[in-house]
Amino acid sequence: MFAGRRIVLGVTGGIAAYKAVEVCRRLVDAGAHVSPIMTKGASHFIGETTLSALASEPVQTSLWDEASPIPHTRLGQGADLIVVAPATARLLSDYAAGRSSDLLMATLLATRAPVVVCPAMHTEMWEHPAVQDNLATLRARGVHIVEPESGRLAGGDLGHGRLADPASIVAAAAAALTLPDLAGLRVLVTAGGTREPIDPVRFIGNRSSGKQGTAIARAALRRGADVTLITTAPVPALPGLEVVSVATAAELRTAVHDRAPSSDVVVMAAAVADFRPVSVAVDKIKKAGGVPEIRLEPTEDILAELGAAKVPGQTLVGFAAETTDVAANAQDKLARKGADLLVANDVGAPATGFEHDTNAVTIFSAAGVVDSVELASKDLVADRVLDSVVSHRLVSSGSLNPQFPTK
């Protein structure tokens, strides 16, 4: 998403300026070239050396400090995205009025790139009609506003106006750079490994962390979809993402069947247990009682049920975590389950599958291999899976010749 993208990070004079350091680090780690601009006020809260060390080039602070006589033009025209975090009430006023008061404002006026503005201020300032009018003006011009959160403010106050979490800011930046090709679609994603209880303490489970399914949900949200994530794993809150927490295969099955009929795309990335104990002990099983006998029964095949009950126009995506004969097993599962696409990976290969932040997958359709993704971040894999979903839907609707990819 961010690889090779040039992002200008503007930092203004608010106490939340320290959070811009984490935003910068996350963007650089994701592959972006970050050009930081600090206002004079920002220097009262963080040092230039900090951002210069973490960003892709030294901090710029003035229209007159560098060899180029027009740094705002260089930065504004070269940017793929501008992020301002934090954005003070003054910045919002200057931007709405078009007042070129410093390097950051001149750069904002000299760009045609998307802009993400992240306000942070005390509650009284945030709620002031002048501030809200300025925000309305910026929204009407297409500026992306990341709303502040409620929480502890400077001086110990509690209220609305706290800068959004760095993860939410980076997610908003990614969304601003993403083509909304899933806009208007309802996407249902499952993630994580189910836990089938043996007693109140122990369970039968697997090593799935839920990272790949969660990455797909985030990517679908960036691409404009209305997203529900049914998961067994903890998930950081993201604006617009509906999260349904479950634990067992039965709970997941109920949650999926409640929502699948109204979903345009269903991505079954969860690792669902194939078996569960026939009976669950009421109390913890003690070692003193000897080795227990645990009888198992099969769980319901949720993917196959979805395949049999698929509604017209719906796209169903399954996952196959394999250790041998990956291609053959994946194609067999695709046919048996009635899925439209199947994402297969070799979880025994280095740095792939469970618990890793990277993955390598092959995506199959009934016609064969649709895409093959070498070892990459799970975020990149998520976008490639959704690329295949978009292509499949275009082909199915007759809008695209099957031999031509969408991207």
Cα–Cα distance between 261 and 278 in angstroms, integer? 30
Q: Is 359 an annotated catalytic residue?
A: no
Q: How far apart are CA 359 and CA 99, in angstroms?
A: 47
Widest Cα–Cα separation across the chain: 82
Terminus-to-terminus CA distance in the chain, angstroms? 14
Interatomic CA distance for residues 119 and 268, integer angstroms: 37
Determine the Cα–Cα distance for residues 271 and 233; give it in Å rounded to an integer.
Answer: 11
C-alpha separations of 62 from 104, 238, 276, 295 in Å: 8, 35, 65, 72
Token pair for residue 213?
């399914």
Helix (H), strand (E) at residue 229? strand 226-231
Alpha-carbon gap, residue 287 to 277, rounded angstroms: 18
| Rounded Cα distance, 161 and 149, in Å | 6
| Other CB atoms within 10 A of residue 246 CB | 20
1 within 8 A of 75, measured Cβ to Cβ = no
Residue in 127, 143, 78 with CA at minimum distance from that of residue 107: 78
Instruction: For residues 307 and 314, give the distance between their C-alpha atoms in angstroms, rounded to a whole number.
Output: 10
Could you tell me which of 257, 250, 255 has the C-alpha nearest to residue 305? Answer: 257
Catalytic annotation, pick one of 206, 329, 345, 401 = 206
Report how far residue 391's alpha carbon sits from residue 341's, in angstroms, rounded to the nearest whole number. Answer: 11
Q: How far apart are CA 200 and CA 366, in angstroms?
A: 43
Q: Give the tokens for residue 33.
A: 């070239």
Q: Are 57 and 71 in contact (CB under 8 A)?
A: no
268, 303 Cβ separation under 8 angstroms: yes
* Residues with catalytic roles: 206
